[in-house]
Amino acid sequence: MRIGIIGAGAVGGAIASLLARAGNDVEVTARGAHLQSIRRSGLTLTGAWGESTSRMRAAATLTRVNELVIVATKAHDAERALRENIKYIRNVPVVVFQNGLDSLAIAQRASPRSDIIGGLATFASSFLSPGTIHITAAGPSYLGVAGENDVPARYAAHILNSVMPTTAVPNFRGAQWTKLVINQVNALPAITGLSVQAVVADRALRTIMTASMRETVQIGLASGIHFETVQGLSHRRLRAFSRSPLWVGQLLPWLMSTWMGRTPNPGSTLQSIRRGQPNEVDALNGAVVRSATAVKRAAAVNALMVELVHSVEETGNFFSSEDVAARFKALKRDN
């Protein structure tokens, strides 16, 4: 099958490698040294889904009409990437693998003639170096649409499920919110320079992560969201979590770090900062803040995460655990 992947980074590169390894005719878009490495030596996948190196077409933009297109850029790059490739994606099913809440609306605006399918990946992947993607933990992916016609989502899920666990879900908005809770693991590694596992092992940082997760669930509930079950996190469990004290709720980030395994996982936001690229904090924690404003609520912990990630991005200086804990204590005192 002819499949195009726009954005061959941690997520897109992993999907491209799996599809190519299964015999599909894959082309990817990439930039700079990553593009040159794929052209020269292929795309190498290591880690939880085995090791392989796959040859595939690679260019700055798509070069042909494919039967399926997957967009796996960062959220802030999605609309530009879709418009750059619009010649080859009109009337083609497009799966948009992105974090945050706005992926479907952005893609539909950029390519209104395409069947737009939302995608959420829960596997943990790292862009180690040009031409190499490493899977630190395997996990399923979830697809869905904004409307009632789920045929495109089921079609794409059938294709992807042949190479990695993928399910079409009816309540994709709820799935986006559940993934938003899971993505709360990203901000504190970006703020401290530590791996997700190291952050969770630190009692003070684990408390803050729990607070940001709980706040996210509370804002989702206030927004009328029914959380879709993703990675075992159901609406019932998340609602109970939102009402639990922080010392009890810390079990959730601890379980998530256990699922990630022993290989240090930096999280996607820290990976972007280390590469000097724009990160997704505004699409993750920032989405919670904007949703809170819409329902006349506050999301002070998520707002603090946004502020501190942007500070690291601008200055290049990470915060110590003690500094972050002090900011959190001051926040609790002021609120």
Tell me whether residue 239 is exposed, middle or buried, using C-beta atoms within 10 angstroms of its C-beta: 0 to 12, 13 to 18, 19 or more. middle
Pick the CATH number of 176-334 from 3.30.200.20, 3.40.50.300, 1.10.10.10, 1.10.1040.10: 1.10.1040.10
Residue 24 pLDDT class (50, 70, 90 cuts): very high
Q: Token pair for residue 88?
A: 């080859």
Q: Which residue has the higher pLDDT, 263 or 233?
A: 233
The C-alpha R_g of the chain, in whole angstroms, comes to 19
Query: Comparing C-alpha atoms, which of 50, 40, 42, 51 is closest to residue 8?
Result: 42
Residue 208 pLDDT class (50, 70, 90 cuts): very high
Query: Comparing C-alpha atoms, which of 171, 174, 105, 169 is closest to residue 141?
Result: 169
Q: Which residue has the higher pLDDT, 127 or 284?
A: 284
- Taking the C-alpha atoms of residue 306 and residue 289, their distance in angstroms, rounded to an integer, is 9
Cross-strand pairs, 135: 47, 125
**Under CATH, to which class is 2-170 assigned?**
alpha beta
**8 A C-beta contact, residue 172 and residue 144:** yes
Query: At residue 35, does pLDDT exceed 90?
Result: yes
Query: At residue 278, does pLDDT exceed 90?
Result: no
Residues of the chain with CATH 3.40.50.720: 2-170
Residues of the chain with CATH 1.10.1040.10: 176-334
| Per-residue confidence (pLDDT) for residue 137, from 0 to 100 | 87
**8 A C-beta contact, residue 80 and residue 6:** no
CA distances from 180 to 102, 212, 279, 302 (A): 12, 11, 15, 11
Residue 263 pLDDT class (50, 70, 90 cuts): confident
Question: Which H, E and C letters describe 46-78, residue by residue?
Answer: EECCCCEEECCEEECCCCCCCCEEEECCCHHHH
Q: If you average pLDDT over residues 127-133, what whole number do you get?
A: 91
- Kindly report whether the global pTM for this prediction surpasses the value 0.85: yes
- Taking the C-alpha atoms of residue 331 and residue 261, their distance in angstroms, rounded to an integer, is 32
- Taking the C-alpha atoms of residue 313 and residue 286, their distance in angstroms, rounded to an integer, is 15
Residues 96-111: tens digit of each pLDDT: 999 999 999 999 999 9
Residue 32, H or E segment = helix 32-41
Mean pLDDT estimate for the chain = 94
Q: Token pair for residue 95?
A: 């799966």
Q: Phi and psi dihedrals of 121, rounded to 5?
A: -105, 130
